[in-house]
A and B are shown apart, each in its own frame.
Chain A
Amino acid sequence: MDAIFLQVLNGLDKGGAYALIALGLTLVFGTLGVVNFAHGALFMLGAFCAVSVQSILTISQKVRDESITFFEAYKEIPYLEIWWGETGSIIIDYAVPISIVVAIPVMLLIGLAMERGLIRHFYKRTHAEQILVTFGLAIVVQEIIKANFGANPIPVPAPDIVSGSANIGTWLGMSDTIVYPWWRLIYFVFSLTVIAAVFAFLQLTTFGMVVRAGMRNREMVGLLGIDIQRKFTIVFGLGAVVAGVAGAMYTPMLPPDYHMGMDFLVLSFVVVVVGGMGSLGGAVAAGFLLGLLQSFAAMNEIKSLIPGIDQIIIYLVAVIIILVRPRGLFGREGVMED
């Protein structure tokens, strides 16, 4: 029972990440009709926003390290700590939350630049060509990151205060074996917040209404005098922001490397397809659903029943969904169905 509860929690935070990536991907696909293979790269760029913020905050002075006598070694003391002492350390400690604030404008700009510079020239080309050019872009982006940050993962810790784990079992009056890392709980709540914010934005603002309308009938919106292209440029930026903050927040859970975008890309497409291409609600639901499924498939009891199921469960679900119900669980009829 406790084990199941833990797996649910585990599935939820994983699902939160999937849902956020898939949400951004769906926004872009639903509005622009572009199959963006570079979306994973946006997630990765968000994570590297956090890395950059951390490395900017820890720009250091080199001081001769006297403890090493064999040769001249230097240790690095961040200027922030030299100038502000304790306060400086606290600021460095909060690199990830700070990076969220930084990531929003940065990712928006990156998204807008990407749409203006490349994506918009591919609206009228085939899906295959969109896949190809964004696949190429993803390679280029990840190689640029590799050239600048190296190939190895770079740890970006969560603030000290939330680096431990929460004793959920005790709170709920259950067994004390149910502990869960704070940051993962925060990530789950954060993903819900972002999802809620995106939906509120779409439901409650005029701009959001135009976007919703454009996703359903792009032509009519244009015929009503609205420059849908221009609005959608902003939507692309929004999708980039959602992917970016998802990536930045993910760094304490998984030290980012240049390849993480590709790793998440396949997954996020699977999530989108399972949810239904173009369905925002579907993306979110499928994200959580697949997160939970994957978490449960990894339980030792299940694995001993069906060996290897944890390795393929997500893809298996995707295959079945595409074959049985190509529009996905929540997709509308006709969207990308042949």
Chain B
Amino acid sequence: MEAMYLLEMRQIDKQFPGVHALDHVNFRVRAGEIHALMGENGAGKSTLMKILTGLYRKDTGEIILDGQQVSFNSPLEAQRAGISTIYQEINLIPYLSIAENIHLGREPMNRTGIDWKQVNQRAERILREMGVEADVTQPLCSYGTAVQQMVAIARAISVQAKLIVMDEPTSSLDEKEVEILFRQMRKLREKGIAIIFISHRLDEVFEICDTVTILKDGKLVSESPAAELSKLELVSRMIGRDATDVLRRKNGVYQGTGGVPVLEAHGITDKEKLRGVSLRIRQGEIVGLAGLLGAGRTELAKVIFGDNPDYTGTLAVNGQEVRWKAPRDAIAKGFAYCSEDRKAEGIFSHMSVRENMTMAILPRIARRGLVNVGRQKDIVDRYIKSLSIKTPGQEQLIRNLSGGNQQKVLLARWLCMEPRLIILDEPTRGIDIGAKAEIEALIQDIAGQGISVLLISSELEELVRNCHRVIVIRDGKNIGELESDMLSEGNIMRTIAQDILQEGGACI
């Protein structure tokens, strides 16, 4: 009987000051299954996993692994017991090489010490299998989030584990990588390894998972085989009400006036990735940027936002040529940029939600450098409500919020600026389905108010659903542009594939 479950967590309870994060939750996983853990932002998924891996101490409850009661005091102990983890926030060492990050803690040794040759070769092999092309001897921090995420995955699945915890591994991956990941996951399942999979992308869950456990507000809602659940039902259980309205899909056609484009970028070339990419956004238009991993989308966003002054090509705002020296110049012209790397480039982790949300708007709510705290609080209040950010209050430290809620605070930081153009780099990364719908609605809404949006997303579906026009880039060059009827996931994929084919042909 007992042996049926590889892992059983019974009556797990966890309190944080002001938050009852887990309320006597039962959670169990069979060997050789892929088990989805679902729930809204702040439902307690990550907390449950952190308790499992010994990062947090539980208040009450017991954990039974392989028929034995266990209680881990550190991730090391959990690792030794065969639990391997990918945490929600990428937790790797920025200055160490990719290869080292994959092997840290279990480096192959030879007589004279660490066998670097083997470290690098193995890392290269693992990553190649996963379709990632990167120089494994380079420091991790010289790569973007997607590569980092793949490295974290590579690290987790290259150990001998019984159970692998994956807390939102796909949030910064695009379709191709997700497919690779799933292939790996299936292989692992065949070997009898259990996987706990957390994701906010429903399609993924239905594609890969066997069982689904749903949490809401720290309480267990249900556990059932994936096959017995419909999408609608799953979402309804997660949000605790009928979800028909959440699953709406719509794609508007650009209604705005033509006129001078709000932003026109021409022939942008930088020192690393960009090779003459061009782009035009009109007022109130939502333009999507699609491309494979490392296509240069983030780099382009940074040039547009003035974070990389080292480029050639021209930028024009409302027809006037500009040259930014720093992001604040772009901000002054009404630009906003919500970064894809929320930990490294977004949050001020020891500061409160209030301080985090208003960091960019301060000059506007201050007179002669004096912050008008009343107005500040009003704004924060308004956005906590309108984005339904789950926090005990404005003064909560942002690091104590769940990942998705942190993302919402960052979004609010820019939305409250009422920008002319907002660049959203993976804005729904780690955001639950309900909130995602809200954010998508919000994007439509702000576009309706005449704000232009540049949307970068790895979820093609999201682009198709929201954008008026999608620009496809590859290797820092435009390879296509899709609009209205032509705009579909299939067409985007086809554009990319064609380009790869052409190039491949040319090469041979």
- A and B interact: no
* B interface, CB within 8 angstroms of A: none
* A interface, CB within 8 angstroms of B: none
